[in-house]
């Protein structure tokens, strides 16, 4: 029985910034305002868009067409054959049959969204073991979903990931212990001085000291 498929690396068509950059539009760290600011959105979404565009080109399908919507359905039906970026893009192009929101992004109570979303992670471990996905890429994937659908998460989780995302773009990876400490502080109602917390992290990233070379 040979159902095991080699997963292709994804999210690597676009060059990544090596520094934490600032957005020319909103002036915040680039990527922070994913939902509200087009350049912030593009800085993150571009990694996914590049892979999706390549698929459209290969299939000779025009973006925004009915064929594209159909392709998204096909991708989700044959889930195992596609890279994580392509699956994520397909999720954004399919409506949930139960709640009619973007699949995986509906209200917390929607079981179909919960199931569709939960299914995504089964494959990341495989992909990481095969070297087709780095831990940083997995974090980017998780971070994008949380930024896209923050209502599905606690404030602590949503804020922590939102703050990390502009840094993840450079290949940085937060320490699990730091993430847990921050989450606990937020949960207990403490205000976090984000600027102070990230000042040192950003300085290290910008000096090239925090790069995950396997990204
Ligand atoms: Zn911006
Ligand atoms: Zn739903």
Q: How close is the Cα of 1 to the center of ligand 1, in Å?
A: 49
> Which of 115, 125, 120, 112 is CA-nearest to residue 142?
120
The Å distance, Cα 171 to ligand 1 centre, comes to 19
For residue 174, report the distance from its CA to the centre of ligand 1, in Å.
22
Residue 94: phi and psi, rounded to 5, are -125, 135
Burial of 106 (0-12, 13-18, 19+ CB in 10 A): buried
144 against 199, higher pLDDT: 144
**Given a cut of 70, is residue 211 above it in pLDDT?**
no
Ligand approaching nearest to the C-alpha of 91: 2
pLDDT band at residue 212 under the 50/70/90 scheme: low
Residue 108, pLDDT > 50, answer: yes
82 alpha carbon – ligand 1 mean position (Å): 30
Dist. CA 149–CA 145, nearest whole Å = 6
The three-state secondary structure class of 47 is helix
Distance 76 CA to ligand 2 centre (A): 15
Confidence of residue 3 (pLDDT cuts 50, 70, 90): very low
End-to-end CA distance of the chain: 32
CA 66 / ligand 2 centre spacing (Å)? 21
Q: Compute, in angstroms, the gap from residue 108 CA to the centroid of ligand 2.
A: 8
Find tokens 């939960």 and name the residue: 118
Which range, of 7-21, 67-81, 89-103, 173-187, averages the lowest pLDDT? Answer: 173-187
9 phi-psi bin (left φ>0, alpha ψ -120 to 50, beta other): beta
Compute, in angstroms, the gap from residue 125 CA to the centroid of ligand 1: 32
* pLDDT above 60 (res 70): yes
Q: What is the mean pLDDT of residues 72-82?
A: 92
Q: What is the pTM of this model?
A: 0.91
Give residue 174's pLDDT.
85
In this prediction, residues 178-196 reach a mean pLDDT of 81
């Amino acid at each position: 029985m040979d159902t095991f498929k080699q997963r292709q690396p994804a999210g690597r068509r676009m060059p990544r910034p090596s520094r934490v950059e600032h957005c020319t539009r909103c002036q915040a760290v680039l990527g922070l305002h994913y939902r509200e600011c087009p350049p912030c959105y593009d800085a993150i979404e571009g990694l996914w868009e590049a892979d999706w565009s390549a698929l459209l080109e290969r299939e000779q399908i025009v973006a925004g067409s009915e064929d594209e919507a159909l392709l998204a359905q096909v991708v989700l039906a044959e889930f195992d054959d596609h890279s994580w970026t392509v699956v994520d893009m397909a999720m954004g192009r399919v409506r949930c049959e139960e709640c009619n929101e973007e699949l995986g992004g509906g209200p917390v109570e929607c079981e179909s969204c919960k199931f569709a979303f939960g299914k995504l992670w089964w494959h990341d471990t495989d992909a990481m073991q095969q070297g087709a996905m780095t831990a940083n890429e997995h974090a980017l994937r998780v971070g994008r979903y949380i930024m896209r659908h923050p209502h599905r998460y606690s404030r602590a989780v949503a804020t922590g990931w939102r703050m990390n995302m502009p840094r993840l773009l450079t290949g940085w990876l937060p320490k699990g212990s730091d993430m847990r400490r921050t989450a606990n502080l937020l949960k207990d109602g403490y205000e976090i001085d984000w600027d102070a917390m990230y000042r040192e992290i950003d300085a290290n990233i910008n000096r090239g000291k925090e790069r995950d070379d396997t990204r």
